[in-house]
């Protein structure tokens, strides 16, 4: 009797254990089905009770799930796409209208309608923002190179000068840093020069409007290995002699002032050309 009871208990325990496992397996396999079925019921109930106006309102409700405010998770409607296209067209049209007026105003303000091909005996060659001036002497070539990018600043008024009411804006002038190369054969004596921040005072013994930033000497092509010395650590007398040398080669105060005039006109012309390019790009012309 006891043996029968024990056997019956084992049978019952195995049955319960197997039933639990079976139920667990069934519940795992049925869980996704149950979720899918529930989602299907939600769609059917919505589709049955949503009228045309109600559905439209839901589609047009803005949602934080899309930055354009299209509604239900990046679902774009024709009205929204049309509205976005209109805003884009309006922005482009306003840009073109402004550029048209700006180009006319800038052309009126141009002092030089045609850029010169020569400045004080130096032949001018421009390539984008870079300008090269060259002059051939008896036994050497003098080459001046500068770039007009980020060189424009408003012309400050001197002490005692007052801006007139008719003058709305101060004159914009280009004062670029420039390289002066004296080339003899395969050897180059190079100078890096820039405009002085403070103009010379009246009656000052040294009335230079530019200074030497760096001096170097090399053969062949320049490289990072070439030694250079800063102008502010040069011996004072040597510095003056080098400034005199530049003046003898045609790089004087008067020439550098005309270089600034040319650079100002060149930069202004490049600015107008860029405005015209942006306008053509906006309206779709190549």
Burial group, residue 66, by CB count within 10 angstroms (0-12, 13-18, 19+): middle
* Second-level CATH architecture of 118-157+168-283: Roll (3.10)
Distance CA 214, CA 242 (A): 11
Indicate the domain borders of the chain: 2-49, 118-157+168-283
pLDDT of residue 68: 55
* Residue-wise pLDDT tens digits, 170-225: 678 999 999 999 999 999 999 999 999 876 666 666 689 999 999 999 999 999 99
Give per-residue pLDDT as tens, 56-65.
443 444 445 4
Stated pTM of the model: 0.65
Angle between helices 253-283 and 78-109 (to 10 degrees): 150
**pLDDT value of residue 169:** 55
Q: Report whether 212 contacts 239 (CB < 8 A).
A: yes
Mean pLDDT of 4-16: 50
Nearest-angstrom CA–CA distance, 113 and 263: 14
């Amino acid at each position: 009797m006891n043996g029968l009871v024990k056997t019956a208990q084992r049978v019952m325990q195995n049955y319960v254990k197997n039933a639990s496992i079976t139920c667990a397996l069934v519940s795992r396999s049925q869980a996704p089905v149950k979720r899918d079925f529930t989602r299907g019921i939600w769609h059917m109930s919505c589709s049955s009770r949503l009228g045309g106006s109600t559905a439209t309102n839901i589609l047009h409700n803005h949602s934080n799930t899309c930055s354009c405010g299209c509604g239900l998770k990046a679902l774009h409607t024709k009205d929204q796409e049309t509205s976005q296209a209109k805003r884009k067209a309006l922005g482009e049209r306003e840009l073109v209208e402004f550029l048209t007026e700006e180009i006319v105003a800038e052309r009126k303000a141009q002092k030089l309608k045609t850029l010169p091909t020569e400045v004080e005996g130096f032949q001018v060659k421009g390539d984008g923002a870079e300008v090269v001036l060259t002059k051939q002497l008896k036994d050497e070539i003098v080459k001046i190179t500068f770039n007009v990018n980020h060189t424009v600043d408003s012309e400050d008024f001197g002490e005692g000068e007052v801006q007139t009411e008719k003058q709305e804006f101060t004159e914009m002038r280009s004062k670029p840093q420039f390289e002066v190369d004296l080339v003899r054969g395969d050897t180059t004596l190079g100078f890096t020069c820039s405009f002085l921040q403070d103009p010379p005072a009246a009656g000052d013994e040294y009335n230079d409007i530019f200074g030497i930033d760096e001096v170097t000497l090399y053969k062949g092509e320049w490289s990072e290995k070439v030694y250079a010395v800063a102008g502010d650590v040069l011996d004072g007398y040597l510095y003056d002699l080098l400034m005199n040398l530049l003046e003898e080669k045609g790089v004087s105060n008067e020439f550098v002032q005309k270089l600034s005039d040319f650079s100002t006109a060149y930069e202004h012309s490049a600015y107008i050309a860029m405005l015209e390019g942006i306008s053509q790009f906006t309206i779709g012309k190549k």
